[in-house]
């Protein structure tokens, strides 16, 4: 009820302002003859009011519709262009209809016979309307353009932070020590397996370094990468760790290194032992990649480092209205990360 009252008060305010503005503009056009008698004053003031209220509220409604379809915070330049185009088309139609109605039915003047003298008035009205509307939209444009510039810079910083988190987890002394220890044992026992281990180890670092200038990567590349990443951990933990990657649909885009960060969290925050093997499953449902593990939290984190979840969540805000989803139950921890087909 309070909101309804506020809306009504705003509308009454707008109507009064429209009426006062129409009196001023009509006086500029009509001069002193506007006040020659009550009937003339009424007709001229009604004329001005209909022009003012139809242009104001009509363009306001057009702007609201356009902003729903083309939000200012997504693409300010496109929103400005469409709003100005919509305002021009609507204003031409609204002015033509009001002038026709007023001259034909209020002043009892044949609109088409006087068209040559009416058109200049209509053009002046259109120019005034477009100047006011354009000023309003340009102010909004610069507001959102400034915000978009700041957001773009923030996105770059968050992308750098995410890559730093991924690289930090891969050069973590504990991770390197364990990997080199596994490699040492493989060299003595299984030369082919050691060779495969080295190849996957190099693939990880190559991929991390290649993503320094990319905001999004094909899902297929990220899945290939995490297979190399998980293979290192599978060799290290043997049968104590099981990772099932069941992603058949590889279409779409994803934030680079995001899946690796999520898998790293699984390995880092959960117990992996013969008594409590960790089971991780990666699959796709519609436009989400889902990473789920059985929940068996460590009391302490053995490999400290950036969590990355907050960074990934912030990055997705810039690309999609869909968000990272986290579901934790008594037995499982599940993260759903969007696959991007169309950037918002």
pLDDT surpassing 60 at residue 200: yes
- Express each pLDDT in 115-145 by its tens digit: 888 888 888 888 888 888 888 888 888 888 8
CB atoms within 10 A of CB 120: 9
pLDDT surpassing 90 at residue 305: no
pLDDT surpassing 60 at residue 94: yes
The predicted pLDDT at position 247 comes to 93
- Express each pLDDT in 310-323 by its tens digit: 777 777 776 777 88
- Express each pLDDT in 271-287 by its tens digit: 988 889 999 999 999 89
Confidence of residue 160 (pLDDT cuts 50, 70, 90): low
Q: What is the pTM of this model?
A: 0.52
Mean pLDDT of 140-164: 72
3-class DSSP assignment, residue 125:
helix
- Express each pLDDT in 216-269 by its tens digit: 889 999 999 898 888 888 877 878 999 999 999 999 999 888 898 888 888 888
Residue that wins the pLDDT comparison between 222 and 203: 222
How do the residues of the chain divide into helix, strand and coil, expressed in percent and rounded to 5? 70, 10, 20
- Express each pLDDT in 29-43 by its tens digit: 656 655 555 566 666
Report which of 280, 168, 260, 173 is spatially closest to residue 217, judged by C-alpha positions: 260
- Express each pLDDT in 57-82 by its tens digit: 888 888 888 888 888 877 788 888 89
The predicted pLDDT at position 306 comes to 43
The predicted pLDDT at position 339 comes to 92
CB atoms within 10 A of CB 130: 17
The predicted pLDDT at position 179 comes to 63
Q: Based on the number of CB atoms within 10 Å of its own CB, is 114 exposed (0-12), middle (13-18) or buried (19 or more)?
A: middle
The predicted pLDDT at position 176 comes to 59
Report which of 130, 163, 322 is spatially closest to residue 255, judged by C-alpha positions: 163
- Express each pLDDT in 164-190 by its tens digit: 565 555 555 555 555 666 666 667 677
d(CA 336, CA 341): 16
Report which of 74, 141, 72 is spatially closest to residue 343, judged by C-alpha positions: 74
CB atoms within 10 A of CB 17: 13
Residue that wins the pLDDT comparison between 98 and 177: 98
Q: Based on the number of CB atoms within 10 Å of its own CB, is 232 exposed (0-12), middle (13-18) or buried (19 or more)?
A: buried
Cα 17–Cα 22–Cα 24 angle in degrees, nearest 5: 100
pLDDT surpassing 80 at residue 296: yes
Confidence of residue 2 (pLDDT cuts 50, 70, 90): low
- What's the first-to-final CA gap in the chain, in angstroms? 35
The predicted pLDDT at position 242 comes to 93
CB atoms within 10 A of CB 181: 11
The predicted pLDDT at position 304 comes to 46
DSSP run (H or E) holding 271: none
The predicted pLDDT at position 115 comes to 81
- Express each pLDDT in 328-342 by its tens digit: 999 999 999 999 885
**Checking DSSP bridges between strand 288-294 and strand 332-338, what pairing results, if any?**
antiparallel
């Amino acid at each position: 009820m309070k909101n309804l009252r506020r809306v009504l008060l705003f509308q009454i305010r707008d109507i009064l302002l429209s009426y006062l503005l129409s009196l001023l503009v009509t006086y500029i056009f009509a001069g002193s003859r506007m006040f020659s008698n009550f009937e003339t004053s009424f007709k001229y003031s009604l004329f001005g009011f209909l022009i003012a209220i139809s242009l104001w509220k009509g363009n306001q409604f057009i702007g609201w519709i356009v902003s729903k379809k083309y939000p200012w915070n997504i693409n300010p330049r496109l929103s400005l262009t469409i709003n100005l185009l919509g305002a021009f088309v609507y204003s031409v139609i609204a002015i033509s209809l009001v002038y026709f109605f007023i001259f034909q039915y209020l002043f009892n003047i044949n609109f088409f016979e006087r068209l040559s003298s009416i058109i200049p008035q209509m053009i002046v009205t259109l120019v005034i309307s477009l100047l006011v509307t354009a000023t309003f939209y340009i102010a909004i444009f610069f507001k959102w353009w400034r915000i978009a510039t700041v957001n773009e810079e923030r996105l770059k910083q968050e992308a750098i932070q995410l890559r730093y988190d991924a690289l930090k987890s891969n050069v973590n002394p504990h991770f390197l020590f364990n990997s080199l220890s596994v490699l040492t044992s493989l060299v003595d026992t299984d030369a082919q397996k050691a060779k495969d281990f080295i190849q996957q180890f190099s693939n990880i670092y190559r991929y991390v370094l290649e993503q320094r200038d990319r905001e999004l990567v094909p899902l297929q590349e990220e899945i290939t990468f995490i297979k190399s990443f998980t293979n290192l951990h599978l060799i290290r933990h043997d049968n104590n760790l099981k990772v099932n990657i069941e992603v058949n649909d590889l279409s779409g885009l994803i934030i680079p290194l995001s899946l690796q960060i999520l898998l790293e969290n699984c390995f880092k925050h959960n117990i992996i032992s013969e008594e409590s093997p960790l089971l991780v499953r990666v699959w796709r449902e519609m436009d989400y990649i889902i990473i789920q593990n059985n929940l068996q939290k460590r009391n302490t984190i053995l490999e400290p480092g950036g969590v990355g979840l907050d960074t990934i969540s912030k990055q997705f805000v810039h690309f999609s209205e869909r968000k990272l989803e986290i579901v934790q139950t008594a037995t499982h921890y599940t993260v759903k990360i969007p696959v991007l087909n169309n950037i918002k």
